[in-house]
Amino acid sequence: MAATVFHCATPQNLLARAEQARCGWPHRAVRFGLDPSLLSLGLPAETWTRILWEFSEAMKRLDSHAIELRIAFEGLPSRANVWARSAFLGGSGGVLAEAQLPCGVAASELLWQRYDSGDQWSAELAMLAFFHESLHSLGLDHDPRPGSILNPSLGVGHNHADLDHPANAGVVEALRARYPRLAPPDRPPTPTPSPTPTPPGGQWITLTYLAPGGRDGKGIPRTVRVWTV
């Protein structure tokens, strides 16, 4: 039977430090990748791909909260920012996952997430765990409020991966503090064209003449302004 309770192993002292420093990525399109070792957790590749897609879509829906952040899928660890893989973290009854935090990272840096290969997983638990660790990967601390996706102990059916759920209001506020919508760059003012200078001692006149051409051979009307003295 798959585990129904999730315990996070990301150290709380590091999380508190990341929260105080408002750690986060310097860019607004963070690239996530899935290591083939995740298949050892007993879930098909399609399940992990769907979970990553759901997390990406959840970030897009935060536009309405003035949060600017995109999650992109990356197939190569050399080009990813966050790489999820399996590792033995103690087996059944222990912690299920942990993540590195983006404190002082460059846009090209790679951080890992690790999911316990010694435990049993369900798709529902994997969804909660991935959302939870991915929010750590974006720099967020634990949230002790019941039902929050960032509560350090999650239970299937008790916590909510839907970031629009009221239980996740603190999560949304933390994301807004790190990834506020950027103001569009200021555009230089459009220069006002200088008026045509009028030389002294004369006047502008408009002349109309027929230029060669036209279907009937009668010419094409043309107008020109000239200065006369």
- pLDDT at position 198: 59
Kindly state the average pLDDT of the residues 85-111: 88
Measured CA to CA in angstroms, residue 101 lies from 42, 162, 170 at distances of 27, 22, 19
- pLDDT at position 6: 64
- pTM score: 0.76
Higher-scoring residue by pLDDT: 92, 16: 16
pLDDT in tens, 144-170: 888 899 988 877 777 788 999 999 999
For 10, residues 6+ apart whose C-beta sits below 8 A from its C-beta are 98, 99, 101, 133, 136
Token pair 């995740």 is found at: 38
Sign for the pseudo-dihedral over CA of 79, 84, 86, 88? positive
Q: Which is nearest to 103 in space by CA: 182, 175, 17, 36?
A: 17
- pLDDT at position 59: 92
- pLDDT at position 1: 30
pLDDT in tens, 45-66: 999 999 999 999 999 999 888 8
Token pair 């935060």 is found at: 62
Q: Domain-by-domain residue ranges, the chain?
A: 5-178, 198-229
Of 3.40.390.10, 3.40.50.740, 3.30.390.30, 1.10.760.10, the CATH number of 5-178 is 3.40.390.10
pLDDT in tens, 196-215: 665 566 677 777 767 777 66
